Structure 1
């Protein structure tokens, strides 16, 4: 993704908000907003934002899992399944 094509000054955002929202919904990707020549904000379609948040959540889960493995805080799957079956029987 080439971000350079999606860089606009804050004034453009103020003057073209409807067009920006429509364009982001149609083609996706972020829009970088600058002030005084520096990138200051990112505007993106809500669906793209939600996908990004879901991806970050999955990455956090993977990171936590990796950390637990490194710390030795794991058990064999068969042991866990067996324990779950026993607990399920006890609650019936």
Structure 2
């Protein structure tokens, strides 16, 4: 996703806020907001933000799982389920 065309100064956002928000809700790419020529914020649709957060959470789970595998702290699935069933009986 190329964001270079989506960089806007904060004055643009102030003058065109409803238009920018409608565009985001309509599926447009996020907008980079600048202040004094420096990128300071990213404005995006809340649905897309939630999707991004869910994706990051899944990636964190995968990274933790890979660390567990590398550390040798894994068990065969049969053994793991056997232990869980044993705990549930208690």
**For 1:45-60, what aligned pairs fall within 5 Å after superposition?**
45-60=45-60
Matched, 1:6 2:6: yes
Give the corresponding residue for 1:20.
20
**For 1:8-87, what aligned pairs fall within 5 Å after superposition?**
8-87=8-87
The 4+ residue runs of structure 1 with deviation greater than 3 A are: none
**Could you state the TM-score of these two structures normalised by the residue count of structure 2?**
0.91
CA contact (8 A) 1:29 1:44 kept: yes
**Could you state the TM-score of these two structures normalised by the residue count of structure 1?**
0.89
Quote the RMSD (CA, aligned, Å): 1.2
Report the CA distance between 1:19 and its aligned residue.
Answer: 1.0
How many equivalent pairs are there? 90
CA contact (8 A) 1:29 1:48 kept: no
User: What's the secondary structure of 2:87's corresponding residue?
Assistant: helix
Separation in 1, partners of 2:41, 2:86: 53
Report the CA distance between 1:83 and its aligned residue.
Answer: 2.0
Report the CA distance between 1:35 and its aligned residue.
Answer: 1.5
Ranges in structure 1 where 5+ consecutive residues have no aligned partner? none
